[in-house]
Amino acid sequence: MSEAIDRDAAQTADRIVQRERRRVRTLAFLTVALWGVAALLIPSVYLPLGAKLKQLAQLTPPAPPAQMDFSKLKPGEPVSLEYRVWVLCEIATHEWIVGAGILAVALGAGLLASVCSVALALTVRRVTLRQVSTSLAEISEQLRQLRSATS
């Protein structure tokens, strides 16, 4: 009867340890993945944005769309100060909107990565304490068995 109880206790302890190991692996993977996303997020958005802005600068007509006369457009014609101001305002507006979105996503990814890091550390601590407790319980049981055998 005692052996069956010991086997059940050992199987339960093994299942708990396996579950905790899975949890640690999952949290470790999530932590690394989220920190990777946070690190690569800004370059992955800003590099295509820079290419798009360069393309826009090359293709944009020399006047605001409301005042554009396509029949008078000549290549290489100098642009007016008003047009330059219009373009800078358009670019600044779009950069602000995109920058705010990038910042929000980067902060969210960083926050999730931080939460996963803390959860991982706490889970590892809990698993370690549980393993120490299990080992101490086994040692205590062995000592009881030795005492009863010597009595």
Give dist(CA 48, CA 102) in Å, integer: 13
- pTM above threshold 0.75: no
Residues 33, 118 contacting (CB under 8 angstroms) = no
Residues 102, 41 contacting (CB under 8 angstroms) = yes
Residue 63 has pLDDT above 60, yes or no: no
Could you identify the residue written with the tokens 């370059």? 43
Residue 109, C-beta contacts closer than 8 angstroms, at least 6 positions apart: 34, 37, 38, 41
What integer pLDDT is reported at residue 70 of this predicted model? Answer: 47
What integer pLDDT is reported at residue 6 of this predicted model? Answer: 65
What integer pLDDT is reported at residue 57 of this predicted model? Answer: 60
| Mean pLDDT of all residues in 71-94 | 68
pLDDT in tens, 90-116: 776 677 778 778 877 887 888 888 888
| Range from 33-42, 61-70, 106-115, 132-141 carrying the lowest mean pLDDT | 61-70
| Rounded (10°) angle between helices 2-59 and 81-150 | 170
Most confident of 45-54, 59-68, 69-78, 140-149: 140-149
| Mean per-residue pLDDT over the chain, rounded | 76
What DSSP character marks residue 61? -
H runs (alpha helix) in 1-151 = 2-59, 81-150
Closest CA to 113 of 41, 43, 32: 32
| Mean pLDDT of all residues in 20-35 | 83
| Mean pLDDT of all residues in 37-45 | 75
